[in-house]
Amino acid sequence: MTSDGIARQVVPGVVRWRTSDNKHHWIGYSALAELDADETIRREIAHYRQLGLSCERKLYAHDQPADLLERLKRAGFEIGPREAVVVFDLHEKAEWIEQIDASCVRRIEHLEQLEDYRRVAEAVFGKKHLFVVEELAQALRTGSNQNVGYVAYDGDQPVSTGRLNTNPQSAFGGLYGGGTLATHRGRGYYKALVAARARDALAAGMPIPAGRCAANQ
């Protein structure tokens, strides 16, 4: 279990993950062959049904077998929108990361700041962010710096949010949750958030930030 309370379980063919409150379960890795893929899918469905739990299944373009998406569809999985992962090596020292004025960005260090994060994230993405906010709150309570939230402000108004996830066993820092209010897009707030998180990723020894592309930046 990580310092943020994320539990990892390795079973034949897949790796299962769950949060400490047992509310979020997902399969983040698989190594399946043509002959055992369907059997493993059925086994995992049965496992979570027996526990009375829902489960998210991560699927990557390189996952095998090549028709794994179709197999998951046939097994009854609801397919979410396709996402892209963008990776940037900070060893390249992009000048803009240091040149950008990120003074509008505040790193969340107190529970009281989470309300600003929640309000902006819910307005941008149009859905509840209680789970994400609770993850950030748990990290603050335990003193973990592996899941950190950020808010960019226009004066006193919170207008953009983002998160940085790190792991001491990985060279990658994950940039997640990025979004800016429609009224403030194109004004550099999200770029400031990227710069602030990139700097913190480097300081944490994570030279390669990676994040999912989002449409609300």
How does strand 85-87 pair with strand 157-165? unpaired
What tokens does 118 get?
Answer: 């929640």
pTM of structure: 0.79
| Dmax (CA) of the chain | 59
Are both 116 and 63 inside the same structural domain?
no
Q: Which two tokens stand for residue 11?
A: 């079973």
Range of the structural domain that residue 26 is part of = 7-82
Residues 15 and 106 grouped into a single domain: no
Q: Is residue 217 part of a domain?
A: no
Number of compact structural domains in the chain: 2
Residues 123 and 158 placed together within one structural domain of the fold: yes
SS (HEC) of 106-167: EECCCHHHHHHHHHHHHHHHCCCCHHHHHHHHHHHHHCCCCEEEEEEEECCEEEEEEEEECC
The answer to whether residues 36 and 106 belong to one domain is no
The pLDDT tens digits along the chain (217 residues) read 555 567 889 999 999 999 877 888 999 999 999 999 999 999 999 999 999 999 999 999 999 999 999 999 999 999 988 888 888 888 776 788 889 999 999 999 999 999 999 999 999 999 888 888 988 998 999 898 889 999 999 999 999 999 999 888 788 888 988 899 999 999 999 999 999 999 998 888 877 666 554 443 3
Task: Based on the fold, state whether residues 101 and 15 are members of the same structural domain.
Answer: no
Contact 37, 77 (CB under 8 A): no
Same domain, 99 and 171: yes
User: Are 121 and 199 in a shared domain?
Assistant: yes
> Do both 107 and 160 map to the same domain?
yes
Helix/strand/coil (H, E, C) string of 190-203?
Answer: HHHHHHHHHHHHHH
Going by C-alpha positions, the residue among 82, 121, 119, 93 that lies closest to residue 213 is 82
Instruction: Please check whether residue 52 lies inside any domain of the structure.
Output: yes
